[in-house]
Each structure stands twice: as structure tokens, then as C-alpha cells.
Amino acid sequence: MKRFLSLLQHPLTKGLALDDPRTTVLRQQIVREKRFLWKIYREWSCGIRDNVPAGPGRVLELGSGGGILREFIPDVLTSDVMALPQIHLVASGEALPFDAASLKAIVMTNVFHHIPDVGAFLRDSARVTRVGGRMVMIEPWNTAWSRLVYRGLHHEPFEPAARDWALATGSGPLSTANGALPWIVFERDRARFDAEFPEWRLASITPLMPLSYVLSGGVSLRIQFPPVMYAFVRWLEEMMPQRLVAMFALIVLERVALPKRSIE
């Protein structure tokens, strides 16, 4: 299987290390050139944009280097853990360089499952996000179907049985991953999430896209499905039981005020 996938690897990034900044830059080019894949990213970006609340504060995107969100939220503050073209700042999600309550939203696409210490991230993101603000993300999701795909066709670890939330550190930020981490935190360990991070309320989880990304070949494979088929594929997917077969989920958290402690 590994040899088969090697033959299908996209020529732009073939031979480059996953954590090489050039890989991220080239993957953004791949998203733009593979029009079926671009339609997926466009739909994801619109879903994120539509969940950003109105009102004061900036919108911060984490992991901006390989994405296109700036085309849909023009005033988004872009960031990444590596110095890359067209980003505003280099920053780690575990120690965000912002004042308390200065952001109205933190958004990301396929980033949460790369964060080594999601506990530190959830705490610091709550600090910098104002009450009423949101965290909005597109992430891999765990279903019987997605486990087959991610374990058989994808380069990242996908371990829904992982005992805790910490990630084994890879050679760099992109090789450090567990694709099942969002499902672990927000579904399997929901009680723990609610207890440890009361500043965040899980507003919604929308499972989606059991087929689209596979047919697109993603950013890693040279496969290209005809873009004219996108609307039909999305219609077909909507007929499917998403909670049983989805490969991704749109996850929305809302920053809430903690109840004031009574004074004895």
C-alpha cells in the first residue's frame, strides 16, 4: 500500500519532508490548481466565515499557510507556527500573543489535531477570546468509514483509542498529529472537556463529506476528480447518514462567561 501511495503522490511535493515549509507553500498551490479540491476548501471557508460572530474583536486564523480562508474573510489575521509567505505572524496556539478578550473568533482548518498540548491551547484561547466569541474549525472526524480511509490512505496517525490528549512529538509541527484528536476531545471525552474548560461551550458539531475529499485526492495525491461533478457528489453525500460515514466535522465552540463565585 505504501508503494502504491508513493506512486500517486503529487509531483509538486514528492520527495519533500512533511515539515518542510516549502511543502506547505506548495500545498496551497495544489489547492488552487485542483479545482474539485478548491471547491471543498471554498465550502469549508464559507462554513467557517458564516459562524464568525458579529461585534468587536479580530478574527485569528491558525495554520494559515496552506489555506485560502483570507479570500473569504479578508480582514482575518493569518498565522502559522512556521515563517511562511502571506501570513501576519508566527505564533503557537499554546501561547497566543494577544491581550485578554481581544479576539472575537479563532478559526482553523485541519489544525487542532496537530496541537501537542490541546489543554494549554484551550485555556489560552479562552483567555484571548471575548465572551460571545467563537472557535470554529474543520477537522477530521472518527467514523467506521473514516477510520478505514485515514488508516489506509493517509499519512497521519489516526488513533481514536489514544488514552489521553497529548500527542507524541514528531520531527516537526505537521508530523505531530492524531487525526482522531478532535473526536476524542469533543465526543469521546466530552464530559472531561466540559469539566475542565467551562469557558468554552460546545455549540455544534456538524459531520460532513464522507466522499468529497477522497475523490479529490487531497493535497497529497495526484488524483483529480472532475470539478463539474462536485455538486452531484455533495448531493449524494447529503443523502448519507453523516454521523456514521463522515470524514470531517465543522466544530463550533462559544466563549461563555463563568458564573461569579458567591462571596462568603
Query: What would the pLDDT profile of 135-159 be if each residue is shown by its tens digit?
Result: 999 999 999 999 999 998 888 899 9
Instruction: Please report the pLDDT score of residue 230 as a whole number.
Output: 97
Q: For domain 2-255, which architecture applies?
A: 3-Layer(aba) Sandwich (3.40)
Average pLDDT over every residue of 212-234:
92
> Which three three-digit cell numbers place residue 126?
479562552
81-131 confidence digits (pLDDT tens): 999 988 999 999 999 999 999 999 999 999 999 999 999 999 999 999 999
Instruction: Please report the pLDDT score of residue 3 as a whole number.
Output: 59
Q: How far apart are CA 138 and CA 125, in angstroms?
A: 17
What SS3 string covers 185-219? HHHHCHHHHHHHCCCEEEEEEEEECCCHHHHHCCC
Instruction: Please report the pLDDT score of residue 264 as a whole number.
Output: 41
17-38 confidence digits (pLDDT tens): 888 888 888 888 899 999 999 9
> Which three three-digit cell numbers place residue 257?
462567561
Angle of helix 35-50 relative to helix 21-33, nearest 10 degrees, comes to 100
Contact at 8 Å (CB) between 71 and 46? Answer: no
DSSP 8-class letter at 142: -
Instruction: Please report the pLDDT score of residue 262 as a whole number.
Output: 41
For the chain, give the percent of residues with pLDDT over 70: 94
165-211 confidence digits (pLDDT tens): 999 776 788 889 999 999 999 999 999 999 999 999 999 999 999 99
Q: How far apart are CA 219 and CA 34, in angstroms?
A: 9
Contacts within 8 Å (CB) and 24+ apart, 146-153: 146/210, 146/245, 146/246, 146/247, 149/214, 149/247, 150/179, 150/180, 150/247, 152/1, 153/5, 153/214
- Our measurement of the distance from residue 194's CA atom to the centroid of its chain's CA atoms, rounded to an integer in Å, reads 20
CA angle 221, 110, 257 (to 5 degrees): 170
Q: How far is the CA of 42 from the CAs of 37, 38, 73, 227, in angstroms?
A: 9, 6, 11, 13
Task: Bin 245: left if φ > 0, else alpha if -120 < ψ < 50, else beta.
Answer: alpha
Domain boundaries, the chain: 2-255
Instruction: Please report the pLDDT score of residue 263 as a whole number.
Output: 41
Instruction: Please report the pLDDT score of residue 175 as a whole number.
Output: 87
